[in-house]
Amino acid sequence: MLCPQLASAAEEPCDAPSPDCAVVGQWEISASFGLGQRSNPVAGESDIPLVVVPQISYYGKRFFLVNLELGYTLFEGEKNTFNVIATPGYDRVFFHRGDLQNIFVPTSGGGAFSGRPDPMPGNGDDLDSENVRNFEVGRRRTTFLVGPEWTFGYGRITGQLNAVREVTGRHNGMEVRGALASPLLVGRFGSLVASGGITWKSAEVVRYYYGVDNLYVPDSSLSPFVKLRYSREISDRWGFNLFAHYEKLSSSISDSPIVSEDHVTTVFAGVVFRVH
């Protein structure tokens, strides 16, 4: 059921600091405290707990920093915005618990598998239990991808499309991410926003994270996701957040011998405290 004030809320002018509008030149620091977890589809790896989720952002006149993503706005209009962004490769979070993205939690990844550096048994269909082969799962390095991003508004719907290429010399792969978001409810009782989209990863990306030498050479992947988020402002400094995110992994990822699940689920509920 759509709320009558939905359209106006989605197109609210940016004339005062708010959750949608940033003051240029001012850092925003907040942290969500609560309970949640992200499932880890990599075989043998435990799920990733979410207890404290910090958020840092800075918006200059054109430059912006949002957690681990950097960007430069080329054009900003009423309906369309074009940025160039630099964003970390997300799949590493499933291999390295200490990855910063397990602290500044995004969900634009889609990968899943175990990044343990130790030899681990494969579980491919071509192997039987009496003839277990060991294979090395190499270390996945931190990568950054750079490319254009288009954000548009159409009525109450916000859309985003970006195409980024890895520039840190690890796999030279590409990712294309597309998503739509729309508020379902907006009012004094908070807002409920639904999102959905896809992440396409080139074969180079999928092989870097999910491939196994001489055993599994995956092709590109296309993974859809849906997300539901409820938030409510309690005061200028405090708010409440609840979200659930589900990503269905492409078969080229889930078929990997180092992947044991075909999806990634992230849930979290907690309060947000805005430090600044």
Partner 1 sequence: MRRKARYLIVAALLPVMASAGAQPSANSAAITLNLTPRICTLSAEDENCDTVVTAKWRAPKDESLCLLIVGQPQVRQCWENHSEGVYTVRLLFNQDLLVELRDLELQEVLTSETIAVIKEALRLRRKRRQPWDILS
Among 59, 95, 208, 209, binds partner 1 (CB under 8 A): 59
From the list 72, 78, 74, the residue with the least C-alpha distance to 59 is 72
From the list 264, 244, 245, the residue with the least C-alpha distance to 254 is 264
Q: Least distance to partner 1 from the beta carbon of 188, Å? A: 21
Report the distance separating Cα 56 and Cα 113, nearest Å: 28
Helix (H) or strand (E) holding 92: none
* Cβ–Cβ under 8 Å, residues 33 and 52: yes
Among 17, 117, 148, 155, binds partner 1 (CB under 8 A): 17
Among 191, 195, 202, 220, binds partner 1 (CB under 8 A): 195
Q: Least distance to partner 1 from the beta carbon of 35, Å? A: 14
Compute how many other C-beta atoms are within 10 angstroms of the C-beta atom of residue 106.
Answer: 16
- What is the number of alpha carbons within 13 Å of residue 20 lying toward its C-beta? 11
Among 94, 95, 216, 243, binds partner 1 (CB under 8 A): 243
Which range binds partner 1 by CB under 8 A, 133-141, 154-162, 208-216, 255-263? 154-162
**163 contributes a contact to partner 1 by CB under 8 A:** no
**112 contributes a contact to partner 1 by CB under 8 A:** no
> Three-state SS for 136?
coil
- Angle at 181 (CA atoms; ends 178, 183), nearest 5 degrees: 180
Chain residues in the site for partner 1 (CB under 8 A)? 14-17, 19-26, 32, 53, 55, 57, 59, 61, 64, 66, 71, 76, 81, 83, 105-108, 151, 158-160, 177, 179-181, 195-197, 199, 225, 227, 229, 241, 243, 245, 266, 268, 272
